[in-house]
């Protein structure tokens, strides 16, 4: 799949933002006034900034309001509804904490749950697609959720918890890669099943239907840059998990080191998310004999 | 509404005969023409006369080569367009309700006024049947020529999808799969019509007829024995020449 920068940015930033908001909603850290303002501002900026950048991917954004209507069947629509509910409730909770020094704990908890729910709906947009076997698995949700929670803990300054959650996210990432590598073959999609010609013999592409490129090839048959995948995986894991976890758990990072941990984590998640798209193979590639 | 109908009254669709398709691309061109001049946004092209032309098409003809265990390889021309699936994943993923499947005839359509161009439906289609128009920013797909098949302004014989009407090899057939006696149901039964990528569980309505098995020519030449060469060794001058040359 084409790793569109707007979608990478959206999923990474909003994942982090909703993770942070979830911790704030649970009263971790227990802040109020100006400090709370800074924390909530960061959380909202990341979450909303991410949501806005996702609209850059749309061909016709003027209809965006209609995207709230089909929550009965569409995960994308559900994502829209849940994220708005999460932001509104969290806004109420934040206003209480910042301006009135009151903690509406129940609202905070519900808002936190909705934040996690938003990340889950995002993950299901990808996880539901049977056409992309690498994504079509509960591990996709585990990958998004574990990263969001770990990143949220990191931003919320929960040093111990963040260290442990990062290690968990790293483990989930490794399992996701390993099982994802095998899934296309496991599902049994081949050029023979795609064409139905397997009964006659071995099938290969003879001539493509068009000499130039098209939307399908550009969007779904992205093959460039995969050859560095193994190296990029190592880089992603190192920046996203190993370095920040080491800083937190071994060096008990203070403010400066914590900043390094956050930036390293952010860069690592970007690389990981780039790979998430670039390595995902769509079955339509079979009709073009490329994946 | 993106909930799929439990059942549709009719199941309109195509049968595509891989045995007779000659790969002329006439259906591709007529589809592009009709759907640019009629229903919805035109099918745009980019850099049409430049070095890297690309454009939106609702029907494309691939070509494959199949090599059996014994015997020569076969070339198979392979037209591909929306299969109007019964369990269409492209409909249920749509956040706006722009994509829908009609209850009356099962045609899968996009209401372009509602489409936000998110492209998720194209991601969910295993067959590459949907293309986001790069100029209009809305999703385009085969409409089964919904603006022809019910169009009383057209002469009766033109009330079928333009690809079917155009095909010079008669490789495309249009009809109602819900009716067991329709032309398409009969063809599917008689010729073993098949689904593409059935393991995706989309239950396509359109069916593909596999190429007929190649026959082999039997030797039934009654004159052959009479015409067999009588002398295998050259005689006379030629024989001498042959021997002389051999010795050299
Ligand atoms: S072929 Fe693709 S676009 Fe057409 S109904 Fe099936 S899934 Fe949808
Ligand atoms: S591109 Fe349009 S039709 Fe397709 S899922 Fe998005 S809104 Fe629906």
Check if B172 has its Cβ closer than 6 Å to any atom of ligand 1.
Answer: no
Does A63 contact B96 at a Cβ distance shorter than 8 Å?
yes
Same domain, A193 and A263: yes
- Residue B75's alpha-carbon distances to A206, B15, B20, B28, B171, in angstroms, are 7, 19, 11, 19, 15
Q: Model confidence over B142-185: pLDDT tens digits?
A: 999 999 999 999 999 999 999 999 999 999 999 999 999 999 99
Together in a domain, A30 and A99: yes
- Report the pLDDT averaged over residues A91-110: 93
Which pLDDT band holds residue A263 (cuts at 50, 70, 90)?
Answer: very high
A105 in a structural domain: yes
Is A172 contained in some domain? Answer: yes
Cβ of residue B198 closer than 8 Å to a chain A Cβ: yes
- Using DSSP, state whether B32 is helix, strand or coil: helix
Shared domain check, A94 and A36: yes
From the list A66, A80, A195, the residue facing B97 with the nearest CB is: A66
User: Is residue A209 domain-shared with residue A85, that is, in the same domain?
Assistant: no
B141 within ligand 1 shell (Cβ under 6 A): yes
Mark whether A26 and A85 lie in a shared domain: yes
Mean per-residue pLDDT, A48-55: 84
How far is ligand 2, taken at its centre, from the CA of residue B115, in Å?
Answer: 5
Provide the domain limits for residue A177: 159-291
- Quote the number of domains for chain A: 2
Same domain, A70 and A169: no
Shared-domain flag, residues A117 and A190: no
- Residue A149 falls within a domain, yes or no? no
Domain termination site, one of A128, A149, A168: A128
Domain residue ranges of chain B, discontinuous segments joined by +: 12-87+141-209, 216-246
Same domain assignment for residues A88 and A171: no
Does residue A5 belong to the interface with chain B, where contact is any CB pair within 8 Å? no
Mean pLDDT of the region A1-16: 92
Question: Does residue B136 have its Cβ closer than 6 Å to ligand 2?
Answer: no
pLDDT at A253: 67
Judge whether B80 is closer than 8 Å to chain A, CB to CB. Answer: yes
Is A154 inside a domain boundary? no
In chain A, which among 125-164 make CB contacts under 8 A with chain B?
A: 125, 128-132
- Which chain A residue lies closest to B117 (C-alpha atoms)? A59
**CB of B121 shorter than 6 A to ligand 2:** yes
Contact criterion met (CB < 8 Å) for A76 and B134: no
The per-residue pLDDT for range B12-60, each reduced to its tens digit, is 999 999 999 999 999 999 999 999 998 899 999 999 999 999 999 999 9
Q: Which CATH architecture has domain B12-87+141-209?
A: 2-Layer Sandwich (3.30)
Q: What is the pLDDT of residues A179-199, one digit of tens each?
A: 999 999 999 999 999 999 999
Tell me the ipTM for this assembly: 0.93
**A146 domain-assigned:** no
Best residue among B8, B13, B16, B82 to mutate for probing ligand 1's pocket (most ligand atoms within 8 Å of CB) is B82
Average pLDDT, chain B: 93
Contacts of B246 (CB under 8 A, 6+ apart): none
A185 shares contact with chain B (CB less than 8 Å)? no
């Amino acid at each position: 799949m084409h790793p569109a920068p707007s979608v990478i940015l959206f999923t990474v930033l909003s994942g982090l933002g909703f993770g942070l908001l979830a911790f704030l909603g649970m009263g971790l850290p227990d802040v109020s006034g100006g400090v709370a303002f800074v924390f909530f501002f960061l959380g909202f900026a990341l979450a909303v900034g991410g949501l806005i950048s996702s609209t850059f991917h749309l061909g016709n954004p003027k209809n965006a309001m209609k995207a709230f209507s089909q929550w009965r069947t569409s995960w994308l629509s559900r994502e829209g509804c849940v994220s708005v509910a999460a932001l509104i409730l969290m806004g109420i909770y934040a206003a209480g904490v910042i301006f009135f020094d009151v903690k509406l704990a129940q609202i905070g908890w519900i808002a936190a749950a909705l934040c996690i729910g938003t990340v889950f709906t995002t993950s299901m947009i990808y996880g539901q697609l049977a056409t992309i076997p690498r994504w079509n698995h509960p591990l996709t949700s585990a990958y998004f959720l574990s990263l969001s929670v770990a990143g949220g803990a990191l931003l919320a300054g929960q040093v111990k918890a963040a260290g442990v959650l990062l290690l968990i996210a790293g483990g989930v990432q490794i399992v996701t890669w390993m099982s994802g590598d095998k899934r296309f073959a496991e599902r049994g999609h081949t050029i023979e099943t795609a064409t139905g010609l397997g009964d006659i013999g071995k099938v290969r592409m003879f001539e493509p239907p068009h000499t130039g490129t098209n939307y399908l090839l550009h969007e779904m048959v992205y093959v460039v840059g995969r050859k560095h995948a193994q190296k990029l995986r190592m880089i992603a894991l190192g920046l996203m998990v190993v370095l920040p976890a080491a800083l937190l758990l071994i060096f008990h990072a203070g403010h400066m080191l914590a900043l390094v941990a956050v930036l390293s984590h952010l860069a690592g998640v970007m690389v990981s998310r780039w790979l998430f798209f670039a390595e995902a193979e769509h079955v339509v590639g079979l009709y073009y004999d490329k994946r | 509404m993106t909930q799929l109908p439990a059942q549709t009254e009719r199941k309109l669709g195509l049968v595509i005969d891989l045995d007779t398709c000659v790969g002329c691309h006439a259906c591709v061109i007529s589809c592009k023409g009709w759907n640019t001049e009629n229903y919805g946004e035109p099918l745009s092209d980019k850099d049409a006369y430049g070095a890297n032309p690309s454009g939106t098409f609702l029907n494309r003809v691939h070509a494959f080569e199949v090599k059996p265990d014994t015997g020569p390889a076969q070339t198979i021309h392979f037209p591909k367009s929306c299969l109007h699936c019964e369990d269409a994943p492209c409909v249920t993923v749509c956040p706006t309700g722009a994509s829908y499947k009609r209850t009356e005839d099962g045609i899968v359509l996009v209401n372009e006024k509602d489409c936000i161009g998110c492209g998720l439906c194209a991601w969910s289609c295993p067959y590459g049947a949907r293309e986001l128009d790069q100029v209009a920013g809305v999703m385009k797909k085969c409409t089964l020529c919904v603006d022809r098949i019910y169009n009383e302004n057209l002469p009766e014989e033109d009330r079928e999808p333009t690809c079917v009407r155009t095909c010079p090899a008669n490789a495309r057939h249009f009809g109602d799969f819900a009716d067991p006696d329709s032309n398409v149901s009969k063809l599917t039964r008689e010729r073993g019509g098949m689904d593409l990528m059935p393991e995706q569980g989309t239950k396509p309505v359109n069916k593909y007829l596999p190429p007929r098995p190649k026959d082999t020519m039997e030797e039934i030449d009654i004159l052959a024995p009479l015409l067999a060469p009588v002398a295998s060794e050259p005689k006379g001058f030629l024989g001498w020449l042959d021997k002389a040359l051999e010795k050299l």
